[in-house]
Amino acid sequence: MGRRSVRQAERGTLAGIASGGRLGHSTAPGWDFFLPAEYTTLQRRSIVGRTPYPPLRTETAMADIQPRPSKTLIVFSALVIAGSLFFVCAFCAAAVDNPMLWGANVFFLPLLLLLAIQQYCGTFRRAPSGAMWARAIFYALGGLGVFGLITTIVEGLQDGSTLWAMRWLVFFISLFAVACVALGRMNSAWSRTLRAAAARGDLPAPSWRFSLREMLLLFAVVAAIMGLTSYLIQSIPPNFAEHVDRSSAPFSVPSDATDVSYCRRPSGSTYEFSTSEQAFRGWVASIGSFESQSADVPLREITTPFTIVRYDGSTVTIRDGLYYSWSDDNQYNGIDAAFDRASGRAYYDSYFD
C-alpha cells in the first residue's frame, strides 16, 4: 500500500472513532479493520486503543520515502566493487610469482577490500558511514595519484626527452587521479543525502543483519575471487625455461625469434634467442625502461670482446656483432643486449634495484 493510501486509511479510521466516541474510549470494537494490513498490534492500538500516540510508520511507507541512489551511482559502485576485487586477485597472483610484492600488498589488499565493502554498504544498504568511508578512500587514492603525477613530471622535466617518453604514464596517472576525485565527490554527495534523511527519521538505523540473497551473493563473490586468483596464478609463465618458442616467452622478442631460453628474477631478467641481425636491430629500439629509451643510447659495433651474462648464470664473450649497454648514474639499474653474428644468437640482461 502506498504512502497516500496509508494516510487516507488512517484519517478514515480516526473519523470513524470520532463518530462513536472520543479517542481512547471507543464504543465500537473493530475500527482497526480499516487499517492497513502492514500495521502491527502496537500501531493499531496507537489509533483505536487507549494510548493516544501518533501511528508509527510502516515498513512499506518507510521504503517509499527512503532516498534512492541514482543509476549513475549504482553503475559506478558496481564497477568499483568489481574492479577492487579483480585487483585483489591480481595482486595475490603477482605476489605468489614475486614474493617481494607482499610488502606493497600489505597496504593495498586491505584498502581494496575495505573500499569494496564500504562502497557496497553505502550504495546498496544506504549506510551513511559506508558512503563516508568510500569518499575518504577515494580522496586518499586521488591524493596519491596527484603526488605520483607531480613526482613523475618533476623527474621528467629534468630531461625533456624522458618526459615525452613517459607521456602515456602521465596520462594514465592523471586519469586515475581525476577518476578518484570524481568518485569521492559522488560518494560525498550521497553521504550528505543519507545523513539528511537519517536526521528527518526517513532512514532506518543501519543493521548488520544480512538477507539470504546477500549471503548467497557473498559466497558467490568469495568463490569468484578464489577461482580468478587460481586462474591468474596458473596463467603466470615459469620463471625459468629453456628452448621454447617465442609464444611461450613472457616478454617481447622479434617476430622471427626461435629457441628462446630465459630466467626471470625479482630484480631483472636474462634471456637469449636466435634471430636475424636486421630483426635484432629493430627489436633493440623497443627494449628498456623510460629512462633507458630517453637516453637514446645507440647500437654499436663490437670492436673489442664484449661479455654478457646468460640465462643460466654463465657468461658468453662476443667478438663480432652488435651491442647495446645502458646504466643509470649510480650503476644500480642497467640493460645490456648483444648480437653474435657467428652464431646468430641474441642476448639480453637487465638488472634493477
Q: State how many domains the chain has.
A: 3
The domain in which residue 337 lies consists of 240-351
Contacts 24+ apart (CB under 8 A), 131-135: 131/187, 131/188, 131/190, 131/191, 131/194, 132/187, 132/191, 134/80, 134/183, 134/184, 134/187, 135/184, 135/185, 135/187, 135/188, 135/191
End residue of a domain, out of 203, 235, 267? 235
Same-domain check for residues 155 and 186? yes
Q: Which set of grid coordinates corresponds to residue 153?
A: 613530471
Looking at 197, 216, 235, the residue that finishes a domain is 235
Residue by residue, what is the 3-state secondary structure of 10-45?
A: HHHHHHHHHHHCCCCCCCCCCHHHHCCCCCCHHHHH
**139 in the same domain as 80:** yes
Is the Cα torsion angle 134, 136, 142, 147 positive or negative in sign? negative
Whether residues 308 and 293 share a domain: the answer is yes
Query: In whole angstroms, what is the distance from residue 304 CA to residue 99 CA?
Result: 40
**pLDDT in single tens digits along all 353 residues of the chain:** 455 554 555 455 444 444 444 444 444 444 444 445 544 444 444 544 444 444 555 555 555 567 889 999 999 999 999 999 998 888 888 888 777 777 766 778 889 999 999 999 999 999 999 999 999 999 999 999 999 888 888 877 776 556 666 778 888 999 999 999 999 999 999 999 999 988 888 887 777 777 888 889 889 988 988 898 888 888 888 889 999 998 888 888 998 999 999 998 878 899 999 999 999 998 988 786 656 666 677 889 999 999 999 999 899 999 999 999 888 766 678 889 999 999 999 999 998 76
Q: Are both 58 and 89 inside the same structural domain?
A: no
Tell me, yes or no, whether 52 and 121 share the same domain: no
What's the chain's length in residues?
353
Residue that terminates a domain, selected from 191, 210, 235:
235
Whole-angstrom distance, CA of residue 56 vs CA of residue 44: 9
Measured CA to CA in angstroms, residue 194 lies from 80, 168, 201, 284 at distances of 20, 39, 11, 57
What's the rounded Cα separation, in Å, for the pair 123 and 203? 14
Q: Are residues 142 and 211 located together in one domain of the fold?
A: yes
Taking the mean position of all CA atoms in its chain, how far away is CA 181? 15
What's the confidence (pLDDT) of residue 242? Answer: 93
Residues 75 and 217 in one domain: yes
Supply the pLDDT for residue 116: 94
Shared-domain flag, residues 78 and 226: yes
Question: Does the predicted TM-score (pTM) go above 0.75?
Answer: no
- Closest by CA to 138, choosing from 94, 84, 89, 101, is 84
Return d(Cα 164, Cα 161) in angstroms, integer.
Answer: 5
Q: Looking at the structure, do residues 87 and 140 belong to the same domain, yes or no?
A: yes
- Three-state helix/strand/coil letters over the chain: CCHHHHHHHHHHHHHHHHHHCCCCCCCCCCHHHHCCCCCCHHHHHHHHCCCCCCCCCCHHHHHHHCCCCCHHHHHHHHHHHHHHHHHHHHHHHHHHHCHHHHHHHHHHHHHHHHHHHHHHHHHHCCCHHHHHHHHHHHHHHHHHHHHHHHHHHHHHHCCHHHHHHCHHHHHHHHHHHHHHHHHHHHHHHHHHHHHHHHHHCCCCCCCCCCCHHHHHHHHHHHHHHHHHHHHHHHHCCCCEEEEECHHHCCCCCCCCCEEEEEEEECCEEEEEEECCHHHHHHHHCCCCCHHHHHCCCCCEECCCCEEEECCCCCEEEECCEEEEEEECCCCCCEEEEEEECCCCEEEEEEECC
Q: Are residues 55 and 70 in the same domain?
A: no
Q: Hunting for cell 480499516 — which residue is that?
A: 34
Per-residue pLDDT at 28: 41
132 and 70 in a common domain: yes
Q: What are phi and psi of 163, to 5 degrees?
A: -60, -40
- Tell me, yes or no, whether 261 and 249 share the same domain: yes
